[in-house]
Amino acid sequence: MRAYEITAEPEQLRAPRKVRVAAIQFAIVLPTTAPIEEQRKAIHHKVATMIDAAAAAGANIVCMHELWTMPFAFCTRERLPWTEFAESAEHGPSTKFLSQVHFLRHFVVENEDIEQVHEEASKLSSQRIVLPDFSATNLSTEKDGWPGWPRLAAKYNIVIVSSILERDESKDDVLWNAAVVISNSGKVIGKSRKNHIPRIGDFSESTYYMESTIGHPVFETAYGKIAINVCYGRHHPQNWMMYALNGAEIIFNPCAEVVENLR
């Protein structure tokens, strides 16, 4: 990587642009024998607290580990039940969870008294508060959500890199190892896919998905131009080079790896 470093004279007029990045990694929550939807929701709930902590620490961009929404079961070479975790990159449950749920520089209240909400917010020096849909009614806000989820929260101003098993509905449900980029406004900017698929011993991931056909995309975010070089792609120097040539300032490498291979 040092070969691609470009030295230049420091700028004199513009202040350095500082970007704080958070990387999230965790163990699965429920046994792999639990129903798929229960496993996914349990992971979502766990991740919410981790993103909450990352944002509270000042993170601008949060990167999840490879295929964070499921157990990394591809060494089994069994398609079922693991392929049932696949979802749409644009409007699947995990993308909706990350983009529509309001992350949480927050205080949380259960009291429906809006006046009290404003009073408590002012004590915490909140710059803005966001009331949920139907906050002035008795309608539930949890129909499509997660039990016990905060009903009042301010939105974190963060970009999220979300690596998922993608089901491409436009291509007869072909599966991909994809990474979705969600902007700090909660919109899906785009997606990248794994360019290099390992076929080493038990890790023959081609049983599930193949190499990307969309090249080396770079995404313009509020905190700079970013790219995602998923897992095994890190072993291929030209992969990094192509992202850099396409303008990437920060390249993320979400992975799920055997510990011994990282030493």
Model pLDDT for residues 44-64, shown as the tens digit of each residue: 999 999 998 998 899 999 999
Label residue 153 by pLDDT band (50, 70, 90).
very low
Percent above pLDDT 70 for the chain: 74
Rounded distance between C-alpha atoms, residue 208 and residue 46, angstroms: 26
* All domains of the chain in start order, with CATH: 19-105+154-262 (3.60.110.10)
Task: Say whether 41 is catalytic.
Answer: no
Task: Express each pLDDT in 182-237 by its tens digit.
Answer: 998 888 999 999 999 888 776 778 888 888 899 999 999 999 999 999 998 888 89
38 is catalytic: no
Q: Count CB atoms within 10 A of the CB of residue 9.
A: 5
Marked catalytic residue, from 66, 87, 166, 205: 66
Q: Does 147 have pLDDT greater than 50?
A: no
User: pLDDT: is 263 or 112 the higher one?
Assistant: 263
CA quadruple 133, 47, 117, 109: dihedral positive or negative? Answer: positive
Catalytic residue selected from 63, 194, 205, 255: 194
Q: What is the pLDDT of residue 155?
A: 57
Is residue 255 part of the annotated active site? The answer reads: no
Q: Which residue in the list 87, 166, 205, 231 is annotated as catalytic?
A: 231
Confidence of residue 115 (pLDDT cuts 50, 70, 90): low
Whether 181 contacts 228, CB under 8 Å: yes
**Under 8 Å between Cβ of 180 and 162:** yes
Least trusted range by pLDDT, from 39-48, 127-136, 137-146, 153-162? 137-146
Query: Going by C-beta distance under 8 Å and a sequence separation of 6 or more, which residues neighbour residue 60?
Result: 19, 20, 21, 157, 158, 159, 222, 223
Could you give the count of Cα atoms lying within 13 Å of 162 in the half-sphere of its Cβ?
34
Sequence-ordered alpha helix ranges (H) in the chain:
36-56, 93-100, 114-123, 237-245
- How much is the pLDDT for 136? 43
Residue 259's pLDDT band, with cuts at 50, 70 and 90, is low
At 157-171, the pLDDT tens digits run 899 999 999 999 888
Rounded-to-integer distance, Cα 127 and Cα 138, Å: 27
